[in-house]
Amino acid sequence: MKLLITGGAGFIGSNFILNRIEKGDQVVNLDKLTYSGNLNNLVSVQNRENYSFVRGDIGDKSLVRKIFSECRPDAVVNFAAETHVDRSVIDPESFVRTNVLGTSNLLLETLEYWKSLSQEEKAKFRFHHISTDEVYGSLGFEDPAFTENTAYAPNSPYSASKASSDHFVRAFHETYGLPTLISNCSNNYGPRQFPEKLIPLMVLNAIEGKPLPIYGNGKNIRDWLHVFDHCDAISLILEKSKPGECYNVGGNSEKNNLEVVAAIINVLDQEVPRPDGKSYSEQIHFVKDRPGHDLRYAINADKIKKDLGWTPKFNFDQGIRETVLWYLANEDWVKNVKDGSYQDWIKKNYEER
């Protein structure tokens, strides 16, 4: 396939590109390179003939139009977004700009391009929007998991902006017939995640002897999905499902934050024991909670299992071990992402907690 991938320098997008380049796809990666976009994620493919990179914004009309006319993709996979809930609390506007206005611009330009295709090309074309389970809001401990029919009830500026973009995607299918797809997945983990998110933050803070900041009482639950499993699900949906479909994608692995941190500590205590012989759990530090902190997310992934035969391959213990080892083994990658803007963020988010 010829793919236009947006946000491909980020965590999930780069893992997806590495996977698709190996399959022989032609990939154009449009990425603004915000703080979380990192071309080091893609060094292994940067000189491949079937890969090219354009630095730019999905909200830039003329640039997006030019890319469509030059590369003429068979599909768009939209990963580009502002993605961190804590940042959305401090700066909601940038989430509106990229996630709402940027996505709607990308849709408009996709529609113009799609209209210019032959009937056969039109029928094969797909616009796949990558979304999150956070659009469904928060569950109680005993509530059933989110299905594709759960009503949207976003609670953070991040999830509100993603919900809005999902609605635009749906509307472009219903109104104009654009062959769209949406997948809503749970929390991803794995290699190449920017270390402001829970798992890489905890690994790196631990080995640097810094506190491990747990928001509130640490009992909030997320469902954890390995990024490789997520990429496989995206490929299946892209290649096999009908236009207009939505799929929930989950890791079948609900854990509270204290359990996640304990699993990380378990690996670190075995692999890189502290010089004083104590456990890294000594560094756990409870801090002020996130405002509007969703209690629990859980995914019912029956639809994608039934329609497309997808199930996650990783179990959490195996996945978390490999992930921790990846961050330990990739010191240069870590050094590169922890620049001045990263230090500024850490100060802003944790200093007053």
Query: Per rule CB under 6 A, is residue 201 in the interface with ligand TYD?
Result: yes
Please indicate whether residue 302 is annotated as part of the active site. Answer: no
Q: Show the tokens assigned to 154.
A: 């976003």
Please indicate whether residue 176 is annotated as part of the active site. Answer: no
The phi-psi region of residue 190 (left if phi > 0; otherwise alpha if psi is between -120 and 50; otherwise beta) is left
* Least CB distance to ligand TYD at residue 220 (A): 4
Q: Show the tokens assigned to 341.
A: 């803007």
d(Cα 318, Cα 315) in Å, to the nearest integer? 6
* Least CB distance to ligand TYD at residue 308 (A): 25
One of 133, 196, 223, 245 is an active-site residue; which one?
133
Q: Which does 33 bind (CB under 5 to 8 A by kind): ligand TYD, ligand NAD, none?
A: ligand NAD
Q: Which does 85 bind (CB under 5 to 8 A by kind): ligand TYD, ligand NAD, none?
A: ligand TYD
d(Cα 126, Cα 114) in Å, to the nearest integer? 9
Helices (H) then strands (E): counts for the chain: 14, 12
d(Cα 178, Cα 72) in Å, to the nearest integer? 16
Q: Of 283 and 299, which has the nearer Cβ to ligand NAD?
A: 299
One of 51, 113, 136, 158 is an active-site residue; which one?
158
Q: Which does 214 bind (CB under 5 to 8 A by kind): ligand TYD, ligand NAD, none?
A: ligand TYD
d(Cα 175, Cα 111) in Å, to the nearest integer? 11
Q: Which does 41 bind (CB under 5 to 8 A by kind): ligand NAD, ligand TYD, none?
A: none
* Least CB distance to ligand NAD at residue 244 (A): 20
Footprint of ligand TYD on 224-263 (CB under 6 A) = 257
Please list the residues that pair with 280 across neighbouring strands: none
| Exposure on the CB side of residue 123, measured as CA atoms within 13 A | 2
Q: Which amino acid appears at position 71 of this protein?
A: C
Query: Per rule CB under 6 A, is residue 214 in the interface with ligand TYD?
Result: yes
Q: Which residues would be at the binding site for ligand TYD (CB under 6 A)?
A: 85, 187, 197-198, 201, 213-215, 220, 222, 257, 290
Active site positions, annotated: 133-134, 158
